[in-house]
Amino acid sequence: MSLKISQSTRKATAAAIAAAEGTICPLCRWRQATELHEIVPRGHLSGSPEAMKTVLASPILCALVCRECHPAGNDASNWQLMAHKRFRYGEEAVTEAFAQVNEHLLIKLNPANYGVPT
């Protein structure tokens, strides 16, 4: 059941990102963005299903990238994606997205680790 919820959430988030930002990969700026990428890696969420749902539902903490760039997702590309999100949505919205995830975590995420000035 949770997989179905996750898939529907992923599809809704991907659609929201495509509508707001378009479908060109923000990393290579060339290919069609078809893959949903979590900018906040699952391993940083302390195994919290609620935090993962919050990340997957956030067009700020996820990005659409192309198939070629998606496997190369690393800290540098996540910083680049977060800079794109900060420009698109603003510092306040990005900070609020992190706060929503942190509500579900004992060990809080530090937005500065993702390139967000604090």
* Mean pLDDT value of segment 97-114: 90
Q: Indicate the pLDDT class of residue 12, thresholds 50, 70 and 90.
A: very high
Residue 1 has a pLDDT of 39
**105 has pLDDT over 50:** yes
Can you list the pairs that 47-54 forms with residues at least 24 positions away whose Cβ atoms lie under 8 Å?
48/104, 48/105, 49/2, 50/104, 51/101, 51/104, 51/105, 52/6, 53/5, 53/6, 53/9, 54/100, 54/101, 54/103, 54/104
- Residue pLDDT, tens place only, 18-56: 999 999 999 999 999 999 999 988 888 878 889 999 999
Q: What is the mean pLDDT of the chain?
A: 88
